[in-house]
Each structure stands twice: as C-alpha cells, then as structure tokens.
Structure 1
Amino acid sequence: MFLNKFLNTLKGFGKSLRNLKWSIKQIYSKSAGLASLLVTLYLLEGFGPSLSIFVTHHLVDTVSISTESINGGFRSVIPWVAAFFGIQLLTGQILWRIRTPLETRLRQKLEFNIGRERLEKAANLPLYYYEDSKTYDKLDLSGQAGDKVVRVFQESLGFIQNIVNLLTVSLVFSIISPWLSLLLVVLFIPQSLLDFKSSKMWMDLTYGQTEEHRKVNYFNSLITGRTEQKEIRIFGLAHHLIILWHTYRQKLRGDLLEQQKRIQLYSIPLQLPVTGFHIGLCIYFSTLLLQQELTPGLFVALFQAIVNLTSIPISSSLTQLLEALVRVQFVRDFMEEKVYSRKEGSYLIPSNLVKGFSFKEVSFKYPGQDKMILDRLSFCIHPGERVALVGKNGSGKSTIVKLLLGLYEPTTGHVSIDDMKYSDIRPKSISDNVTAVFQDFHNFEFTLGQSIGIGDTNSFGGEDGLTPNYEKVAKVAELGGVSDFCSNLTNGLDTHIGYTLDEGIGLSGGQWQRIAFSRVLMRNPKLLILDEPTASLDPKQEYEVYEKFNEIAKNKTVLFISHRLGSARLADRIIVLQDGKIAEEGDHDELLKKGNVYSSMWEEQSQWYK
C-alpha cells in the first residue's frame, strides 16, 4: 500500500517536471531575452533578505561599539545605514517595479503566440473532436493558454526566489553550527511533500469535476443568454434552472470544501513541531546573548533570520506552482494531442463533371466506438441531378453529408468525384465545390454583407481583408431573398446584424435562413446540399422553401436531406436510408408503387400536406 502511494507520488512528480520543462521551453522559444532578464531580477530579489540580515548584524554591532567609544563612531555607522536602506529600496521597491511591466509584456507575447497556435490547432481538428464531450473538454480547459504558461514561469521563479532566500538565510546559522543550517532547511521538506500531495488531490478533483463544471456553465448560459430569454420566460423555466444550477454548484462546492478540509488537517501536525523548534531557538539565542557569547548585532541578525524563515512562503509558493502546473497540463494535453491528419491529395475537381459523386462500399463509425453508422453504402449522384436522401432520425443522413463535404473520412470504402477518390483531391478543392446549408446553421453576427460574403472568402478584399465583393453579394442576396428586407435597412449590406457587435439589429429566424441560403450561393459549387435547414418550419412551408431553392439552383447538382417527404417530390431520385443502409431508391411515384419503407413513411406523413 505504502509502496504504491510512494510510486504514484513519484509518477505525479515526474509529470509535474515534464509540464515545467514544456512550459519553460515554450517561453524561451518565444521570448528568451525577456525571460532571462526576469530570471535575473527574481534571483536578485531572492538575495535581498540575507543581505539585509548581514547588514543589520554589522549595523547593530557598529552602533553598539560607537556608543562605548569616547569620540563616538558616527562616520563608521553611516555606510551601514546607507547599505541597509539601499538594499530595502532596491529589493522592496525598484526591482519589482522593473519586473512588473516586463511580466506584462511576456504575458502579452505568450498569449498571442501560444493562443494563436492553439486556435490554429483547433481549426484543423477533425469535426468529431468537437462532437465528443470528452475530447472537447481538452480544448475547453486549454483556454487562456498563454496566461497559464506565463503563470507557471512566474510561480517557478517565485519558488526559486524563496529557495534562494531559504538557503542564504539558513547560512546565517552556520555561525552557530553548520548542522543547524542544514536542519532548518530539512524542516521544509515534509511540508513540501505534503503540498505536492495536496496539489495532486486538487488536480484529480479538477479533472473529475469537468463534466459538472460544464453543466453549471450550461445552466448559467441558459439563464442569462439573450436568445433563450423568450422561452425561459413564457415557460417559467428560470426558477427550475436556478435550482438545477444550485444543485450542481452545491455539489462542486461541497467536494472542494471536503478536499480542502483533508488537506488542512494533514498540514496542522507538521506545522506545530516546526514552530516549537523556532521558539526553542529564540530562547537558546537569548541565553547566549545574556552569557555574552553573542554580540548584540549577531543576536538581532539570528532573531531576524528566524522571523524571516517563518515568513518565507515556501509552502504556499510550491502549492501555487503545482496548481499552475496542473492548469498548464490542460494546455499541454491539448497542444500535444495526436490528431490523425490525412494525406492531402494534389488533384483538383474538374470544371465539368461527367460521372458525378459516388460512394463505394462506404462504412463509417466514430473513433473509439463499435457501432457502424453507415454499413457498406454504395450510390451515385449524377451531374445536374436532384437527389433526395430521406429516412428517420439516426438513419445516417447527416453522416453522408459530412462525408460528402470532406468533414469525415470513411472507415472503409471511399467517396469519389468522377472516379477520383477524395483522399487524392486537395481539401480546398472539395470545400470550393461542395457546400451545404445545415439544420443548425450559424448566425454570423457581422455586417449583412460580410455574413453573406463569408460563403466565399476568396472574394474578400480591402485593406483589412474583410470587405465583401458587394456586386457578387448583392447578386446572391437577390437570389436568396435577402434583398427583400435588405432594402429597408438604413446601411444596407453594411448594416450590423445580431446583438453581439456594434449595436446591430435583430433579425427573424426566416431572415437568418435567407442569409444562410444566400451564403452558399457565393461559390459556384458542383454540389449543393440542404441538410434539413427547414426542420423548424411546418411541412408546407418546408416544401415552399425547397421549391424556391430548386429554382435558384437551376443546372446544379442538388442533394436534399429530410426525414419529411414533401420536399422529396421535387427530386429526380429518392434514396431511402434505414439503419445506415439503402432500403430502396427511385422517384416518388415508383417508390409509392413498391409499397415498402417509403410508401409507409408517406402514408404516415401525407396528412401533413393536405
């Protein structure tokens, strides 16, 4: 039992050292000169207390000797007084005032550089990384990456500064006995080990509470969120959500309190004997002074050294360092996350398709899971064809969309365009030629022109690189129905929309939807996908939207995704999915005549369209 605990402690200590090494490497790779200057300043501050004790020793003895001198010794006192106040001024005022702006500058550089690396890594992660809460937690906990790394550096230097302080002050006692100096240093070791154990307990608790923290934050965002307020109020949810927030918050608070109690109960028995030893030393030195075996200056110096030792925050400094190392572990875990990156192809999608898009024996399952979402699926979408992909929720429709968009890779089999495998095609060529409007499309709260224009960032210009191509945006806005309400806006396409930036205006759900439709038209894709973007509408409204989009997308290859069948009637061909496999395919009339899955679904839904 004890051996296992000891080995676990060593293992945890090794991880902390690796985190420290990683953090220092990050800092010196970004700003070596600034980091070295800060190290120097911290070390100089660390020598301050021992220098002060040394000067105090000689100052008091010089004053004592001067008072016994007939002629006095005022001149001999002045240098020591000047040295004492010089040290106080340097270590107590000047050095930290120089250090503070340098630390601020270092933090700014690290927040920018490491923050940018984190964002770039996040932008290149596979989509499933965001869809799994466990992997997404790594990204979430790695926030404020630069600040976490700088804090490790600061706490490390603070801890080293305290160690320098401890060692140099302890050397004062070597005048009495070298063994006494060593003993005073050794007394700090048990408390330091306890601090390390406490930090590991805190780290385990922090990791364990990630899900609870996410729930607390979710309820908090629901209660205070802008878009949620209408439903929160009409359903009277606030009170119930506050109760849920309180329940999880109370659990987090209770767990943290219990952990703190355990940690403090461990530390009290260690503090009492150390304090008793220091009291004993003061009594012993007082006896030596009375016996005139110590000079007044040496006695004051030793007494000052004991007071200094009791006030050196070794324990709290180590605790703060270990906590900083725990937090930087989140950053390191994310930054060192091994993410599979597929080999990028070199081919471009041809301007004129002949065979179109095809799935050949495609199977898909999420990493770490056994269930197949798609099972040996094969089908084609011919150039210029309108295809509807229908099926109940969970049948695999959205997975097919993500495979076509290049957001997922098949577990087995392959997706191809004109017999070119996706793996052989440049990813940008795929994204330029396949685009979609999703059910959960995002409301980009920029200017109206920018919100549409981001559908083709290649068309952006201007000095800031964020100025949309107004001519192109206006054209697709007309096609997508945005111009119907754009003409009523004071600043037209330059109007800020949404409430997040620059006092923008609010838009209805239908208006946001038109913007999303217009956005996909900014490119001239080979395949347009509508992944249930009208799920919030009733079946008749959905049919009208799909019909309009069908007109807009003339001469383009279109894939409609829906679990409702009204829009499927617009398609040249309907593919019916069931449990990740194709149950049947054909046009609307053919499938009704077969009397199988599609016919049953239509029978259930046909009353919606009457």
Structure 2
Amino acid sequence: MSVSLKVSGAAKRKLQRPTYRLGQNTAYMISLAWRRRRSVILLGLTMTVAVILFSLTQLFIVPSILSAVEAKVSVAELTVIIFMFTAALMILGAAKAYLTSCSQFGRIEVRLMIGAMIQNKSLTMSYPDIEDQDVRKKMDKASMLVTSNTAATEAIWTTLTNLLKNVAEFIIYLSLLATLDPFMIIAVVVTTIVSFLVSNYLNGWGYRHRDEESEYSRRMNYLSEKSRDYTLAKDVRIFGMVDWIEEVYNSILRLYRSFIARGERVYIWGNIVDIVLTFMRNGIVYLFLIGAVLGGKMSAAQFVLYFNTVNVFTSGIGSIMSDFATLRKQSLDISAVREFLDYPESFKMEEGTPITPDLKIPYQIELRDVSFCYPKSEKNTLSHINLTIRPGEKLAIVGLNGAGKTTLIKLMCGFLDPTEGKVLLNNVDIRTYNRRDYYKLFSAVFQDFSVLDVTIAENIAQTDENIDTELMERCINQAGLTEKIAGLPNGVETHIGRVFTDGINLSGGELQRLMLARALYKNAPILILDEPTSALDPIAESDIYNKYNELIDGRMAVYISHRLASTRFCDRIILIAEGCIDEEGTHDELITRNGHYADLFEIQSRYYREGGVDDEKE
C-alpha cells in the first residue's frame, strides 16, 4: 500500500498571510496579560534587568582580576575583588532562577486562559460554523496552540524577555566597542548577519515544510490512537485488521523518514556555512586585537575584555535576529488563535432580542416556505416546507433515512437558518432573537447525545451545584431508571465511564433513558425527541410511550421515529419524503388513506409478526 501526502501551494500561501501582524499580536498578548495577570510583564522586566546585570558581571570579572594583577594590588585587595564578583554572580544567579520560577506560573495561567477562551468559543459559536470544515480546522489548530509550555501562547514571553535583554546588551556592548576600529566592527556585524541569514534560511526548511510534517504526524498519531482504542478491539480481532493497520502505518513512516532525510541534508549545509563564517569572523577579531596588544595599544586585561565583548556582541546580533525570527513564527501561531477567537458569528447572539422561557406562555413554531441546502450540496435537503406546530401539540415526523427529518429539527431548534423562507416563533422570525436565549426554550434527546464521565446526577442536571433532588428523582422515574439506579452502590452519585474513576458503563437503552431524564429535568417549554427509544426493545419502548402524556405534561413536543407504531401517541404525524411533506394527519387517518405511511407501517408490522423475515424488503 502506498500513501501520498501533498500540501497545496494555495494552502501554504494562505498560511503566510496571517490576519494579524507581528506588532498587533505582541500588543495583544501584552494587553491580555496586563488585564488578567500583570505579574507576567512585571516579572519579565525584572528578570531582564537581573539577566543583563549577570551577563555584565560575567563579562567584567576576568578583565577586572587581570587589571588588578597588572596593577600589583595586595592579596587582600585581590581577594575582595574576587569575593565581590563571586557574591554578585551568586546573588544575581539566584535572583534569575527565582524570577524564572515565579514567572512560569503566570505564563502558564495566561496560556490556560486563552485555552479557556478557545473552549468557550467552541461551545458557544454559531452551530453552522461548527459543521464548517474550514472553521473546524481553525478550531483544531487554535486548540493545539495552547496544549504545552512550548506553545506560542506561553513561549512568546521567553522570546520577548530574551529579545529585550539582547537589545539592551547590544546597545551596552556597542558603546564599549565604540573606541575600536570601525572596519573590524563592520566586518563582525556583516559576517554575523550573513551567517545568520543563510543558516536561518537553511535551518528554516522544517518550518517551511511544517504542514507536510504535521500531516505525517497527524496520520501516524491517528493510527496509534486507534490501535489503543478498546472499542475497536473486537473488530481488530474478528476482521484481522492488525496487518492492514501496520501496513498503513509503516507506509506513512517510510514517507516520514524520507522527509526527515531531506531536511537533514539541508541542515548540514547550514552548519557548514555557519562554521566557515564564524572562522572568518574570529580570525578578523584575533588579528586586530593581537596586533593592538603587540603594538602596545592595549593591555592584557583590555584584550580579554574586548575579545569577550566582541564575542558577546556577535552572539547578541545573532540572538536578536533569531529572537525576531522566533517571534515571527510565534506571531503566526497567535494570529491563528485570534482568527478563531474573532471568527464572526453567523447568528445574532448578545445583540439579538432577549427571550426568557416561560411554561405559562403558549409557544407556536411555524416554518413558512422553508427550504434548506447544505453548503457544497447541489440539491435542497428540504424544499418549500410549510408547517405550523401549535401550542401543546405532539407532532411526529417520520420518513426514510435521508428524507430530511433531522434537518427539519435543526431548523426548528435554530441550529440552522433556512436557505429560503422563515422559521417563526409566535409570528416572530427567530433570526431576530438572541440565539442562545432561543435555545433555552428547548429540551431534547438527540440521536448523538453526550454523556460525560461524571455522576449520574450531574449528567441529568448538567451541573454539580444546586441540583433539585425531588425533580431529578421524578424525571428518573418517568424515564424508567428508578430500579436501575436504586441497585447501584452510590445511587445517583455513581460515576458513568472509566476515564477518571472506576465508574459504570450503561447499556445503549439505559443511556437513552438517562438522556430522556436529562431532557425532562430541564423542564423547557418545547421538547424535541429524536429517536429517543431507538436502543430500546419494543416492550420497553411501549412502556415509555404509555407514559407519553405524563412526560410531555402539556408542552409542545416534536418526535422523530423510525418505528411508526410509536407515532399513534401523537396528535399529528407528517411523513417527509424527498425533502417535502408527503402526507399529514393522525395515525388512523394516514392508515385509512392507504398511502406511503400505511405501506411503511405494514412493512414494519409484518417484520414484527414474522420475526423480521421481510426486513430486507424495506
């Protein structure tokens, strides 16, 4: 098996054109830290001063001792000089280490705060954007950029501190070297800059090809994760997937090795250029300084001082340029984070009209000439739907897979806006409302529900504070979970899942009952049930729907099901076919009409009567 990976040129060009520039991203991070954690900035400045003083102390210690020896000072005076420098180094070194340790906490906090902002954006952004692959890529990339200490959202503080320190030292050392030959200074600066630019370009090969490398890593990590996924253990063994998975992994690994080899060949040339130019630079400095000493223009102490200063000055130039290069890369990452955080909402949120759920208000939902087409689709999923759901009505939506039932629910709930037409709540277009407020009107059990690794009580109440125990117990009883929970050691405080604790695993039917209890606990005016009993056997399902009126308690309810027998509990049934309302009426009316609904009902009834022998005919 062969695997090929390509990153388009357009994608690369797009990465090189960030929305926010380096200065804007630096100012953004400084502003964010100043508002939320000022110690990050204050400790950074203090640490910069300590590092500069430490470097200057190191620079002057040997020349000072040599100068004292040349001046033939007493042993006591020489001892005092050595002691003072040693004490200064110890104090400044300890201060530097202490400040570094203290600053780390604030930097981590800022990164985690940005991570919380990304998480909040992911949880609250407009639903269509969550389904947009381009937005999901932005979200995934932003999330990756807050996962470690080396992430740009934390590492930028080290870069800024180093840059500030190196610029300050550059100015100090340049003033020290001002008395030397300008030609030597120019030669040192030019060779340093050329060495940096060439080496940086060659050594930046990996960064320029980071998308290709990340694709290899992403695919290998995906396969590694799948190999550790216990939910696949049965499939892997039954279908003999081991060889196939290993073949795919090794194929990607071979391509990755080739990629690494290409990079190493480029890096070797970068090292060769750096060695040659460093040799030239040091040769120029040695010739000049040795000539000055031999000519009597410079003492041994001055020779050591200037030689060390030139070396530090040279490395400082490279460090400044390296810091700017690092800062630019980090700026690209921070820009990616900001592009996701600032992604515009498709729906009105805070600026929309506020709305508060009220069980005493009769709510009516109307779809007026509604059509919907998913992005990049050539055909409407729904076409010219006209439907009014009256206050307190129990409506069933039925149809074959792909007919558009779930899309219709998404439009009612405000997850999607129609391509054409309007969705109205009490004759008001829902697009005018604060969409987050609008969601509060609904309680739901969806096909793809979410269960967290927390207690049963927390999963039902969706909180760990101020849980209404009486309401929760009533909802558990209505959902048919009382006996199950009563048999657990810790009752509703039992943990579900085994990610964080040694909890329990519920069956599919039990999970659906749990989600039904959660939907009832929210006690919203409108209840949406999207295949709420698909994992239950017919007898258990019948038990749930015998209590249907009790569960709904006079609220509007919309119910999707593939089992048509359950729809008889509803006031009205609509059959969706090819994106349109094909039939409408009560269960008995539709059976009498002898149309598509009656045909589907007969097929399912025959399936249960004959043990499923005719299932394939469906």
Shift of residue 593 of structure 1?
5.9
| CA gap 1:504/1:167 in 2 versus in 1, 3 angstroms | same
Give SS of 1:522's match: helix
1:529 Cα shift?
Answer: 1.8
Structure 1 residue 413: Cα displacement: 2.5
* Partner AA of 2:85 in structure 1: F
For 1:119 and 1:9, locate their aligned partners in 2 and report how far apart those are by CA, in whole Å: 23
8 A contact 2:39–2:106 mirrored in 1: no
* TM-score, normalised with respect to structure 2: 0.82
* Residue 390 (structure 1) shift: 2.2
2:584 aligns to what SS in structure 1? strand
Counterpart of 1:521 in 2: which secondary structure? helix
Moved more, 559-568 or 356-365: 559-568
Task: Report the equivalent of 1:84.
Answer: 85
Deviations 1:455-500 (A, max 9, x none): xx5xxxxxxx624222111111111111121111112112222212
Equivalent residue, structure 2, for 1:391: 399
Q: Which residue of 1 aligns with 2:101?
A: 101
What code does the residue aligned with 2:119 have? L
Structure 1's unaligned 5+ residue stretches are: 1-6, 67-71, 458-464
CA contact (8 A) 1:402 1:408 kept: yes
Q: CA 1:14–1:531 in 2, change beyond 3 Å: closer, same or farther? A: closer
Distance 2:198 2:574 in 1: 65
- Residue in structure 2 matched with residue 460 of structure 1 by the alignment: none
Moved more, 247-256 or 36-45: 247-256
CA contact (8 A) 2:184 2:284 kept: no
Q: Deviations over 1:512-537 (max 9, x none)?
A: 22111111111333332221244456
CA distance 1:210–1:50, change in 2 (3 Å) = same
Kindly indicate whether the alpha-carbon contact (under 8 Å) linking 2:399 and 2:575 is maintained by their aligned counterparts in 1: yes
Q: Is the 8 A contact 2:352 2:432 kept in 1?
A: yes
| 2:326 paired with 1:325 | no
The secondary structure found in structure 2 opposite 1:553 is helix
Q: Counterpart of 1:69?
A: none
Q: Percent identity?
A: 23
Which residue of structure 2 lines up, in the alignment, with residue 41 of structure 1? Answer: 47
Residues 318 and 256 from structure 1, CA distance in 2 versus in 1: closer, same or farther, beyond 3 angstroms? farther
* Alignment of structure 1 residues 578-589 onto 2, 5 Å: 578-588=577-587
Counterpart of 2:142, as a letter, is: S
- Per the alignment, residue 451 of structure 1 pairs with 459
CA gap 1:23/1:133 in 2 versus in 1, 3 angstroms: same
Match for 1:577: what amino acid? I
SS of structure 1 residue aligned to 2:71: helix
Q: Provide the C-alpha distance between the structure 2 equivalents of 1:511 and 1:432, rounded to a whole number of angstroms.
A: 25
Following superposition, the deviation at residue 297 of structure 1 comes to 1.0
Aligned partners of 1:183 and 1:11: how far apart in 2?
35
Matched, 1:125 2:129: no
Residues 415-564 of structure 1 mapped to structure 2, 5 A cutoff: 415-425=423-433, 427=435, 430-454=438-462, 466-536=465-535, 540=538, 544=542, 547-548=545-546, 550=548, 552-554=550-552, 555-563=554-562
Greater displacement, 497-506 / 204-213: 204-213
Q: Using a 3 Å threshold, how does the CA distance of structure 1 residues 489 and 275 change in structure 2: closer, same or farther?
A: same
Matching of residues 231-380 of structure 1 within 5 Å: 231-248=235-252, 251=255, 254-255=258-259, 258-259=262-263, 261-262=265-266, 265-266=269-270, 268-308=272-312, 314=319, 317-318=323-324, 320-342=326-348, 343-348=351-356, 351-352=359-360, 356-366=364-374, 372-380=380-388
Q: 1: CA distance between counterparts of 2:163 and 2:295? A: 39
Q: TM-score, normalised by structure 1?
A: 0.83
Question: What amino acid maps onto 1:402 in structure 2?
Answer: K
Which one is further off, 542-551 or 148-157?
Answer: 542-551
Alignment-derived partner of residue 612 in structure 2: none
Which letter does structure 2 place at the counterpart of 1:401? I
Aligned-residue offset at 1:222: 2.6
How many angstroms apart in 2 are the aligned matches of 1:282 and 1:365? 75
| Greater Cα offset, 380-389 or 184-193 | 184-193
Q: Contact 1:118–1:335 (CA<8 Å) still a contact in 2? A: yes
Look up the equivalent residue of 1:408 and give its one-letter code. Answer: L
User: Offset at 1:322?
Assistant: 4.0
2:551 corresponds to which letter in structure 1?
A
Would the alpha carbon gap of residues 477 and 82 (structure 1) be closer, same or farther in structure 2, given more than 3 Å must change? same
Which of these residues, 11, 31, 38, is aligned with residue 25 of structure 1?
31
The amino acid that maps onto 2:453 is: E
For residue 285 of structure 2, what is the amino acid of its counterpart? Answer: L
Instruction: Judge conservation of contact 1:27–1:150 (CA < 8 Å) in 2.
Output: no
Q: Give 3-state SS (helix, strand or coil) of 1:222's partner.
A: helix
1:445 to 1:76, Cα distance in 2 relative to 1, 3 A:
closer
Number of matched pairs: 588
Residues 184, 285 of structure 2: 8 Å contact kept: no
Task: Tell me how far 1:435 sits from its aligned partner.
Answer: 1.5
**Counterpart residue type for residue 407 of structure 1:** F
TM-aligned CA deviation for residue 63 of structure 1:
0.6
Distance 1:109 1:80 in 2: 43
Does the aligned pair in 1 maintain the 2:371–2:418 contact within 8 Å?
yes
Contact 2:527 2:558 in 1 (8 A): yes
Q: 1:410 aligns with which of 418, 421, 427?
A: 418
Contact 1:435/1:525 (<8 A) preserved:
yes
Q: Return the alpha-carbon distance in structure 2 between the equivalents of residues 415 and 294 of structure 1.
A: 88
Distance 1:397 1:200 in 2: 52
Please state how far the C-alpha of 1:572 moved relative to its aligned partner.
3.6
Whole-Å separation in 2 of the counterparts to 1:145 and 1:486: 39
Does the CA contact (< 8 Å) of 1:574 and 1:586 recur in 2? yes
Report the equivalent of 1:136. Answer: 136
CA distance in structure 2 between the partners assigned to 1:185 and 1:63 by the alignment:
33
Query: Do the aligned partners of residues 338 and 428 (structure 1) sit closer, same or farther apart at CA in structure 2, a change above 3 Å counting?
Result: closer
| Corresponding letter in the other structure for 1:547 | Y
CA distance in 2, matches of 1:527, 1:210: 45
Distance 1:184 1:29, change over 3 A: farther
Cα–Cα, structure 1 residues 294 and 219, in superposed 2: closer, same or farther, change >3 Å? same
From the superposition, tell whether residues 599 and 211 of structure 1 become closer, same or farther in structure 2 (CA, over 3 Å): farther
CA change 1:500–1:335 in 2 (3 A) is same
Question: C-alpha distance in 2, partners of 1:200/1:412?
Answer: 50
Equivalent-residue separation in structure 1 for 2:243 and 2:466 (angstroms): 45
In structure 1, give the amino acid aligned to 2:139. Answer: L
Shift in Å, 1:401:
1.5
Q: Contact (CA 8 Å) 2:509, 2:533: kept in 1 or not?
A: no
Distance 1:193 1:606, change over 3 A: farther
Residue type of the alignment partner of 2:117: E
